[in-house]
Amino acid sequence: MFGPPSAPITPYRAPDVDRCAIAAEAGGGPTAPSRQEGLSIGLRRLIVLGLNLATIAGLAAILLSILGGDGLGVLDMVIFAGFLLATPWTVLGFWNAVIGLCVIHLGRAERSVFPYFTAPGRMPERRGADGRPSDRPLSSRTDLLLFLRNEAPEPIFARLEAMRRSLEATGKARHFRFALLSDTSDAMVAAAERREFDRFAHLFDHLPEDRRPIYRRREENSGFKAGNLRDFLEARPGESDFFLPLDSDSVMGGAVIVKMAMAMEDDPRIGILQSLVVGMPAESGFARLFQFGMRHGMRAFTMGSAWWSADCGPYWGHNALIRTAAFVEHCELPVLPGAAPLGGPVLSHDQLEAVYMRRAGYEVRVIPVETRSYETNPPTLLEFEKRDLRWCQGNMQYWRFLIEPGLLPVSRFQILQAILMYIAPLAWIAMTCAATAQALTGGYDASMLVLGMGLFVTLFFLSVAPKIAGVLDVVLTPGAMKAYGGAPRFLGSAVIELLASMLMAPLVAVYVSVFLVGLCFGKTVVWNGQNRDRLGIAWGTALAALLPQTLLGLALAAALFVGANISAVLLALPFLAGLVLAVPFTVATAAPAFGRLTARLGLFAIPEETVMPPVLRAVVSPKARRWRRPMARAAGDDRAARDPAAGSGEDGFAAEGERA
């Protein structure tokens, strides 16, 4: 079944792997020329900077002229300050999406943006760092590291088994080893983890010891996930050339893992290679709704961001290939002085590890196209909130890193951008409330209320620009709408998702704002197991969690009705509706019936529901794609029997699939 034991692997060591770090220490950065065609990276960044500054300055000038008509008061200054804080993040997202859409449809992205990776259906031959074809076989060793923390292990190991099979299908599984790093504190969950691991490890009994899976559980989770990772890497020096961190909900196809390893071997300048992670088919209606918008929205946004960030790309903490020696030497994070929430170990470790890797002279690159890199998304809004607030607390620890020695200017901007991403909602709420108060101060002033709602609509449009660009991308790409279930299903889902985004925007802004205020008084979150598949939320639970949103919405509606008239309430409805309907929206989208309905109708369908990749066949429930009618598979099975690579995706991810 598994074939004969593999021959020992000669560890891969690029001869110039240390050149980048040496050059960086001398202050010169990487010495090799850029491989990207088209405009230079510096010119691209100047263009993006100019577009963003011009847009922000233009909007600010218009707002200031309106506010300063009869002098600037306190409320005017609150509105203007809030606008300046909330706008940069959303404007950058707008221009990333516009640039990305242009690059996808008017440029040659595989040469101008990501020549370091062989994308599906493009440049199928392997290329070296000089851009010339290379047929050198894979010779590196990669550890696939899965992190566990108090979660049901059965679905986790089902996903691991799917990845194992996918890697076996590539014929290069001997270059990879699984390691499970557990910080589970619950004894019963830990016992279940061990049982599932023993079953999984039994599949490797015929292999040499150095290829068998590893299970390692810490009694204390010092440093959280980043601490667990560093403990493992330092305990096993020199055993791997690269490592691939996986969250407990991660799934990656074997072909993309192999091709990422090839890219890292071919180019020793890359320290981190991040794949574009997308959601897999889900039963939860909320997860389907959320990941549908993210799916097409991320394409243009990520392409535009990669166009200018280039060698200073993002790292999202999982589904990325990382150069082990460089990471161990250069990416150790400090323990911040003081106690939680802003002191102690850094929660959002990924972005800091990326800027540290870049400081050492290595590139951090993102693959801005879909491969076979998946995750699951939270099944309910309340689970989404827990994850979001954990990221929020971690990003608020970034302030002191703005003055960290040796960081590149783009890296400092990325740290500031990560902070502003969560400051923006608080600023947005403050300026919207101030504009409403201004409208009611000294008598109802409709123009000020129009201004407040205009700010809401403008910033909302800028924030959803990546999704709009994503819709245009799908419409302009031949056959793409068919992959989403057809034009009526895709376009209808897109409209519903945008309306749902409008409801969610103020709701999310309020819980982030409340949490940021709580941070000042010591409120904190904890890293624990997540609910990844349980559906349903009780009305009482939703009300307790979303009481601030509900009260704020009702208070603003009452103030506008009493201080102005019903027309003012209707004018503010785009903002008020999300707050007043927070509880029913949360309960409805978490309901199992809503998930069944959306799956039955094919609402919020994603391409994997139309063509199921082999790596997902055993881990995605048929309930997640009820709208697909069963079709005869005899022809496909016969083709797979004649040509195993056709089913494994060995020759590329685009062909890796099976029609339902």
Render pLDDT for 590-618 as a digit per residue (tens, 0 to 9): 999 999 999 999 999 999 999 999 999 99
**652 or 612, which is more confident:** 612
Band the pLDDT of 484: cuts 50, 70, 90: very high
Q: Say what the pLDDT of residue 231 is.
A: 93
Q: What is the DSSP letter of 334?
A: P
Asked if pLDDT for residue 167 goes beyond 70, the answer is: yes
Across-strand partners of 144? 178, 244
Mean of the pLDDT values across residues 198-224?
Answer: 91
Residue 189 inside a domain? The answer is: yes
- 367 and 471 co-located in one domain: no
Q: Say if residues 568 and 560 touch (Cβ distance below 8 Å).
A: yes
Mean of the pLDDT values across residues 399-414?
Answer: 94
Asked if pLDDT for residue 70 goes beyond 80, the answer is: no
Q: Which distant-in-sequence residues (6+ apart) come within 8 Å of 77 by Cβ?
A: none
- DSSP-based three-state secondary structure for 143: strand
Give the position of tokens 């192999």: 258
Pairing label, strands 363-375, 270-279: parallel
Token pair listed for 471: 């819709």
Q: How far out from the chain centre does Cα 658 lie?
A: 26
Asked if pLDDT for residue 148 goes beyond 50, the answer is: yes
Q: Please say which residue of 598, 615, 632 terminates a domain.
A: 615
Asked if pLDDT for residue 624 goes beyond 70, the answer is: yes
Q: Say if residues 361 and 310 touch (Cβ distance below 8 Å).
A: no
> What's the pTM?
0.87
Asked if pLDDT for residue 401 goes beyond 90, the answer is: yes
Token pair listed for 163: 């990845």
Name which of 73-87, 119-133, 467-481, 584-598 the model is least confident about: 119-133
| CA distance linking residue 419 with residue 388, whole number of Å | 13
The CATH code of the domain that includes 175 is: 3.90.550.10
Residue 391 inside a domain? The answer is: no
Q: How far out from the chain centre does Cα 439 lie?
A: 39
- 365 and 231 co-located in one domain: yes
| CA distance linking residue 46 with residue 38, whole number of Å | 14
Q: Say if residues 626 and 600 touch (Cβ distance below 8 Å).
A: yes
Q: Say what the pLDDT of residue 443 is.
A: 58
- 256 and 367 co-located in one domain: yes
Provide the terminal-to-terminal Cα distance of the chain, rounded to the nearest Å. Answer: 26
- 427 and 497 co-located in one domain: yes
Q: Say if residues 276 and 366 touch (Cβ distance below 8 Å).
A: yes
Q: What range does the domain containing 588 cover? A: 41-108+423-527+534-615
Say how many domains are in the chain. 2
H-type helices in 342-445, by residue range? 349-359, 381-396, 409-440
Residue 308 inside a domain? The answer is: no
Asked if pLDDT for residue 247 goes beyond 90, the answer is: yes
**% of the chain residues with pLDDT over 90:** 62
Mean of the pLDDT values across residues 215-242?
Answer: 91
Q: How far out from the chain centre does Cα 332 lie?
A: 22
Q: Say what the pLDDT of residue 629 is.
A: 57
Mean of the pLDDT values across residues 471-477?
Answer: 95
Rg (CA), the chain: 25
Token pair listed for 282: 């889900």
- 175 and 267 co-located in one domain: yes
Mean of the pLDDT values across residues 637-655?
Answer: 39
| CA distance linking residue 378 with residue 384, whole number of Å | 5
Residue 650 inside a domain? The answer is: no
- DSSP-based three-state secondary structure for 633: coil
Asked if pLDDT for residue 221 goes beyond 60, the answer is: yes
- 63 and 202 co-located in one domain: no
Q: What is the DSSP string of 540-598?
A: HHHHHHSHHHHHHHHHHHHHHHHHS-HHHHHHTHHHHHHHHTHHHHHHHHH-HHHHHHH
Q: How far out from the chain centre does Cα 599 lie?
A: 23
Q: Say what the pLDDT of residue 463 is.
A: 84
Give the position of tokens 């048929």: 622
Mean of the pLDDT values across residues 411-423?
Answer: 93
Q: Please say which residue of 600, 615, 630 terminates a domain.
A: 615
Q: Say what the pLDDT of residue 122 is.
A: 46
Residue 646 inside a domain? The answer is: no
Mean of per-residue pLDDT scores for the chain: 84
Token pair listed for 300: 């243009």
- 80 and 218 co-located in one domain: no
Q: Say what the pLDDT of residue 34 is.
A: 45
Cis ω for the linkage preceding 334 (within 30 of 0): no
Asked if pLDDT for residue 172 goes beyond 70, the answer is: yes
Asked if pLDDT for residue 19 goes beyond 50, the answer is: no
Q: Please say which residue of 578, 596, 615 terminates a domain.
A: 615
Name which of 29-38, 228-237, 247-256, 434-443 the model is least confident about: 29-38
Band the pLDDT of 485: cuts 50, 70, 90: very high
| CA distance linking residue 394 with residue 342, whole number of Å | 8
Band the pLDDT of 514: cuts 50, 70, 90: very high
Asked if pLDDT for residue 640 goes beyond 50, the answer is: no
Q: Say what the pLDDT of residue 62 is.
A: 83
**Element housing 364 (H / E):** strand 363-375
**% of the chain residues with pLDDT over 70:** 83
- 204 and 71 co-located in one domain: no
Residue 216 inside a domain? The answer is: yes
Residue 396 inside a domain? The answer is: no
- 469 and 585 co-located in one domain: yes
- 466 and 595 co-located in one domain: yes
- 432 and 494 co-located in one domain: yes
Q: Which distant-in-sequence residues (6+ apart) come within 8 Å of 226 by Cβ?
A: 333, 345, 346, 349, 353
| CA distance linking residue 646 with residue 658, whole number of Å | 10
Mean of the pLDDT values across residues 28-48?
Answer: 74
- pLDDT tens column, 267-276: 999 999 999 9
Q: Say what the pLDDT of residue 534 is.
A: 76
| CA distance linking residue 123 with residue 112, whole number of Å | 13
**7 or 52, which is more confident:** 52
To the nearest 10 degrees (0 to 180), the angle between helices 573-580 and 582-590 is 60
How are strands ordered across the β-sheet holding 142-148? 214-217, 176-182, 142-148, 242-246, 320-323, 270-279, 363-375, 251-252
- 103 and 148 co-located in one domain: no
**279 or 575, which is more confident:** 279
Band the pLDDT of 26: cuts 50, 70, 90: very low
Name which of 145-154, 344-353, 624-633 the model is least confident about: 624-633
Across-strand partners of 148? 182
Token pair listed for 424: 């923006």
As a residue count, the chain comes to 660
Residue 657 inside a domain? The answer is: no
Asked if pLDDT for residue 14 goes beyond 90, the answer is: no
